[in-house]
Amino acid sequence: MKKWMFMAAATAIIAIAAMVYLLSAGGKDDSISAAQAGEAVISQYGGVIEETALTGEIYEVGFTREDGKYKAGVDRSTGRVLSVELIEKASEPVPEKLTEDEAKAIAVKEAGGVAGAIRYAEEANEYEVDITEGSTKKTVFVVADSGDIRKITDVAAEMPEPEPAPEPEPVLSQQEAIAIAKETLDGEVQEVEFTETTDGGYYLIEIENEELDKEATVQIHAIRGETMTVEWDD
């Protein structure tokens, strides 16, 4: 009788232990945590975790890399990364523009000489630096953000403006020459002849005065208006 009771008790204990084991095994949760989901994403794609949210059986993991912001979907039960989506692309960094002094230094290093005037061409995003070396003048084009030399052009040396040629002195008109000749002999003009010379030319004016019964040929300088010679015809 005692043996039978002992066996029954042992059986009951084994049954209870088996039931406890089955209940504990069936109720065990193998799902990963939010932190584990984030680690799964970072281990594959790198970056920094920004946020993690559970939606149903999927962890939505937001993370940031140098090239932008992403969202990954991670299976809660398996820890497998199901998807990765680019949410926002990182903006390109704006290169810093050289200062005028930096652009001049680059131009001088490339072309030598002494830097003079400098201009910034906004549309081309470049500096135009004037360089002088002796009698040689150049313009160096320096890219404003990279410092690269785009081109160097020679500038024609400024030649001194020639002095204007002296204006020729005005030549006396025929009537002016006649008026001067009549100061020598007033009368009727018979003939007027102009001869051009290197010093301006002259007029030969033949005048006759019947009342005085005189006739003369008067030579008048065409520029100075001087009476050069008088030839009387008796």
pLDDT of residue 20: 47
pLDDT of residue 26: 45
Q: In the chain, what are the helix, strand and coil shares in percent, each to the nearest 5?
A: 25, 40, 35
How far is the C-alpha of 220 from the C-alpha of 201, rounded, in Å?
9
Q: What average pLDDT does this structure show over 200-226?
A: 90
Of the two residues 234 and 229, the one the predictor is more confident about is 229
DSSP classification of residue 222: T
Q: What is the pLDDT of residues 64-123, one digit of tens each?
A: 999 999 999 999 999 999 999 999 998 877 678 889 999 999 999 988 889 989 999 888
Residue tagged 């009537």 (tokens): 175
DSSP classification of residue 29: -
Q: What is the pTM of this model?
A: 0.35
Give the β-pairing of 136-143 and 126-133. Answer: antiparallel
CB-based contacts of 12: which residues, under 8 Å, 6+ apart? Answer: none
Coil, helix or strand at residue 110: helix
Percent of the chain with pLDDT over 90: 50
Residue tagged 């003939």 (tokens): 191
Residue tagged 């030839």 (tokens): 231
Q: What average pLDDT does this structure show over 149-160?
A: 74
Query: Taking the CA atoms of the chain, what radius of gyration do you get in angstroms?
Result: 56
Q: Dmax of the chain from CA atoms? A: 198
The one-letter amino acid at 228: M
How far is the C-alpha of 63 from the C-alpha of 50, rounded, in Å?
5
pLDDT of residue 40: 94
pLDDT of residue 136: 86
Instruction: Report all structural domains of the chain as residue ranges with CATH numbers, in order of start.
Output: 30-93 (3.10.450.40), 100-155 (3.10.450.40), 174-232 (3.10.450.40)
Mean of the per-residue pLDDT values for the chain?
84
Q: Is the pLDDT of residue 9 over 80?
A: no
Q: In terms of Cα–Cα distance, which of 89, 88, 55, 87 is closest to 74?
A: 55
Encoded tokens for 221: 């300088």
Number of helices (H), then strands (E), belonging to the chain: the values are 4, 12
- Other CB atoms within 10 Å distance of the CB of residue 190: 11
pLDDT of residue 25: 45
Do 97 and 52 contact (CB within 8 A), yes or no?
no
